[in-house]
């Protein structure tokens, strides 16, 4: 039995979600399938997008956020989000080899490596046993604010990973080839 949940269109979205979907369409030129699917819960979609915007204005760079989202999506096995954030990462200036390295949890600097290791521990254990990763983060100069922003990125990406996987969201970004998963 399929768990697929079809995305809504602008014409069949609940009134509370229609404005959000219209603003996404205006900003992006289209509405990604995952957002159109989450629109079945209009307040969840709105809250998620608002939190995303706030995190984007936080202490992490756009590059760091995309590296984290790629790695988290790889760990969680979310092909939809991996494809989406590989494209968004490319648009943010990440080169193909950096995208591949991020999937494996490797950054271009000790700071990026520490951010990715911390996120990996949080995804896998909820943060339990993260003393080594936290010490490494501190050595790389990661502040308290940045620590909380990493946790926020993990939470946000875990939400979209689960939503995409559980609803079988059709990928509407350039498809990422598989391997990594190392």
Per-residue pLDDT tens digits for 151-182:
999 999 999 999 999 999 999 999 987 655 55
In a domain, 181, yes or no: no
Cα 101 from Cα 44, distance rounded (Å) = 32
- Residues 89, 124, single domain; the answer is yes
Between CA 110 and CA 120, with CA 114 as vertex, the angle to 5 degrees is 145
- Residues 72, 160, single domain; the answer is yes
Cis before residue 179, ω within 30 degrees of 0? yes
In a domain, 142, yes or no: yes
In a domain, 182, yes or no: no
- Residues 99, 27, single domain; the answer is no
- Residues 130, 49, single domain; the answer is no
**Phi then psi dihedrals of residue 73, to 5 deg:** -65, -35
Regions of the chain short of the pLDDT cut 50: none
How is residue 128 written in tokens? Answer: 């339990």
In a domain, 5, yes or no: no
Q: What is the pLDDT of residue 151?
A: 98
In a domain, 162, yes or no: yes
Query: Which domain covers residue 74, as residue numbers?
Result: 62-167
- Residues 47, 94, single domain; the answer is no
Q: Of 19, 30, 121, 9, which is closest to residue 68 (Cα–Cα)? A: 121
Burial class (CB in 10 A: 0-12, 13-18, 19+), 142: buried
Q: What is the pLDDT of residue 2?
A: 72
In a domain, 69, yes or no: yes
- Residues 33, 91, single domain; the answer is no
In a domain, 10, yes or no: no
- Quote the number of domains for the chain: 2
- Residues 50, 82, single domain; the answer is no
Q: What is the pLDDT of residue 3?
A: 76
- Residues 31, 121, single domain; the answer is no
- Residues 119, 40, single domain; the answer is no
Q: What is the pLDDT of residue 178?
A: 65
- Residues 93, 154, single domain; the answer is yes
- CB contact burial 19-40 (16+ within 10 A = b; e otherwise): ebbeebeeeeeebbbbbbbbbb
Q: What is the pLDDT of residue 140?
A: 98
């Amino acid at each position: 039995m399929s768990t697929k949940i079809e995305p809504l269109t602008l014409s069949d979205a609940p009134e509370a979600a229609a404005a959000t979907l219209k603003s996404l369409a205006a900003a992006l030129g289209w509405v990604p399938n995952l957002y159109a699917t989450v629109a079945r819960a209009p307040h969840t979609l709105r809250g998620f997008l608002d939190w995303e915007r706030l995190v984007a204005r936080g202490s992490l760079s756009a590059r760091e956020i995309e590296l984290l989202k790629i790695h988290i999506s790889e760990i969680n096995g979310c092909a939809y989000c991996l494809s989406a954030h590989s494209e968004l990462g490319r648009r943010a200036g990440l080169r193909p080899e950096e995208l591949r390295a991020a999937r494996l949890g490797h950054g271009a600097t000790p700071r990026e490596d520490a951010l990715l290791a911390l996120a990996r521990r949080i995804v896998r254990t909820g943060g339990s046993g993260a003393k080594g990763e936290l010490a490494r983060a501190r050595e790389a100069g990661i502040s308290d604010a940045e620590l909380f922003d990493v946790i926020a990125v993990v939470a946000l990406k875990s939400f979209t990973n689960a939503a995409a996987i559980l609803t079988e969201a059709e990928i509407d970004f350039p498809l990422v080839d598989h391997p990594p998963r190392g």
